[in-house]
Structure 1
Amino acid sequence: MIPSPSAALATNRPSAPQALVTHSTGRALPVTSAPRPYLHPIRSLAGTAVTEAEPADHPHHLGLSLAFSDLNGTNFWGGSTFTPGHGPKLLPNHGTQVPWGWQHTTRGAAGSVTWRSKSGKEVALERRSFHYLGHPDPKTWSLSVASVMVPGADVEELVVSSSAVKGRHGAGYGGIFWRFGACAGDPVILSAAGDGEAAAHGSLSSWLSISMKNDGEPVSVVLFQEVREPRIPARGSERLLPWFVRADGYLGAGPAVAWAEPARATSDHPLRLSLNAVIHDGPVDTSTHALELIQQHPRISHTRTPDRTP
């Protein structure tokens, strides 16, 4: 039996499941941050934070959140907008994600999110859920995020773009994004594509491992995408997405929905996104260790075996 986070907490520093995750509505954020719900802090079982929110370098980065720099022409990422020929510019085009109907338990949270443009138009409707799960490793717990988005009222199609699509090389960020906090020294980044940021960035590795030292304590977050079995046809984003990974200037990562071309969704073919994480107290400095932790995530039985390519 896989212990739940609450059971594991009985012998660790935090005293309640809520100590592992804090869910914020984001309603008090400034307009330029594209207000939205997010998770921060997310902590390891030993209490080490593995997220950052509103950092000085990018005040619109918000722990673990879902955001796009361009969804039907609205900036739901926050900060500047990349404009072809002019570069990044701060424009009055920021949208807001409004959470409603959320229910929270010790094992997760689920609810709806309405995506509204600056004018208040309903651009998209989303159903989002978080699951807080146990893990056989006593120094580890598991997290899963899932989202299903459809066009809002009077919107025929969702079109997700990115700065990369508009001409900014490598800036395909947008989707489920994890902003890590400042760490001592260089993080250890591993993926099926190889070691380091350069190998992982833009790769179609099914997994990504990031190890760091926060407040002097080694801690690791291993992320992996769910992949349907080959016999089940993939639709839209139900296939592997390229990773956006940055370790220069700040540390952040997430699967990129519009890496090189726009992504589209309709009511009949929603935009489906998911991400799974293993939060581990200690270093993960080999692919073998990362894959061992992934294999024991409770969701792995519903996914294909992660790519073991070295």
Structure 2
Amino acid sequence: MTATAPGAPVVLRVAGRPVARYVTRPELPARLSPRPCLHPVTTLAGTAVTELSPADHAHHLGVGVAVPDVEGFNFWGGRTYVRDQGPTELDNHGIQRHGSFQLRDPDGFVEELRWVAAGTELLRERRTVAATELTDTAWALDFTFSLTNITSGPLSIGSPATNGRPGAAYGGFFWRARKEDAAPEVFTAGAEGVASVHGTRADWLALTGRGSSPSGGAEGGGDWTLVFAGATGTTRRDPWFVRTAEYPGVGSSLASEARLPVPPGETVVRRIVTVVADGRPDRDEAAALVRKAVSQ
């Protein structure tokens, strides 16, 4: 395990190249629901594919886990959707607190986090993140989180959709992608466009954008593609939450049609593997990269 000062960002590397920076203790206002996150995440060529607190949604924090409703507490940030009232500013924001690293290496880490709201710890999370090389133009981010209810009573996870806002079942793993001049394209193995893929349980989903600068680097770069796969084996596959027009973002929906119950002592486990690629692979190439990434 590499030696790192407490609270210092963890830098993930693939083939010796830095590809992601993990911040454990971001200094953010309470209404943004502070939480550990990955930003910036880049392709192997250095093109940034995440944003942190962008102007359109200040509570979007790179790559991480964000849930808008844990027993009424907001771990997403921003306003809370209230049934028959709409988005409302409430003093109900929780915080994800970094506890410790059980493992910390250049290619990944295992972390313990505490989800705290109103002075009470509701959930204990174990987060496992690994970065692996796939090709000379693509790498994979393997992200698993386990949420355990450590209270003496039942908890449930909700979303704006379960609280009365159709189509807004966000909450879970979430990736805020880089906003370019043009909205990115989105497709799965059998569909294309937000209207066709949002809310589906496709094996994988690709988001691809055109770079804003040919020079590369964190402030620009060439074309990029993210391919998300809800890995099977340990959990059911959740529906995908997708946005491209207002902002580019992809996540998995823990609570889509109904609230997700978490009884005392029970654990919710999810694994998302994301291919981070330079260029614009087609469907067959995207599928091949996903198969390789999930099997590693």
After TM superposition, the score normalised by the length of structure 1 is: 0.85
Going by fraction, where is strand more abundant, 1 or 2?
Answer: 2
CA RMSD of aligned residues (A): 1.6
Show the counterpart of 2:295: 300
User: Does the alignment pair 1:109 with 2:109?
Assistant: yes
Change (3 A) 1:6 1:169: closer
1:59 to partner: Cα distance: 0.3
Show the counterpart of 1:226: 231
Show the counterpart of 1:308: none
User: Does the alignment pair 1:169 with 2:166?
Assistant: yes
Show the counterpart of 2:54: 55
User: Does the alignment pair 1:146 with 2:141?
Assistant: no
1:273 to partner: Cα distance: 1.2
Partner amino acid, structure 2, of 1:87: G
Count how many residue pairs are aligned between Structure 1 and Structure 2.
276
SS of residue paired to 2:196: helix
Unmatched runs of 5 consecutive residues or more in structure 2? 1-11, 214-221
> In the aligned structure 2, how far is the partner of 1:134 from the partner of 1:26?
27
Matched-pair contact (CA < 8 Å) for 2:149–2:265: no
Change (3 A) 1:188 1:27: closer
User: Does the alignment pair 1:275 with 2:272?
Assistant: yes
> In the aligned structure 2, how far is the partner of 1:6 from the partner of 1:128?
18
Percent same amino acid among aligned pairs?
A: 32
1:7 to partner: Cα distance: 6.3
User: Does the alignment pair 1:266 with 2:267?
Assistant: no
> In the aligned structure 2, how far is the partner of 1:300 from the partner of 1:199?
27
Matched-pair contact (CA < 8 Å) for 2:183–2:248: no
Query: Within 5 A, what are the aligned runs for 1:1-310?
Result: 8-9=15-16, 16=17, 19-102=18-101, 103-117=103-117, 119-135=118-134, 137-152=135-150, 154-216=151-213, 217-228=222-233, 238-267=235-264, 269-284=266-281, 286-297=282-293, 299-300=294-295
> In the aligned structure 1, how far is the partner of 2:193 from the partner of 2:53?
26
> In the aligned structure 2, how far is the partner of 1:208 from the partner of 1:270?
26
Matched-pair contact (CA < 8 Å) for 2:152–2:264: no
CA deviations 1:47-87 (Å, max 9, x no partner) are: 00010010011100000010110001100000000111110
Partner amino acid, structure 1, of 2:285: H
SS of residue paired to 1:221: strand
> In the aligned structure 2, how far is the partner of 1:7 from the partner of 1:181?
21
Unmatched runs of 5 consecutive residues or more in structure 1? 10-15, 229-233, 302-310
> In the aligned structure 2, how far is the partner of 1:264 from the partner of 1:272?
13
Partner amino acid, structure 1, of 2:267: P
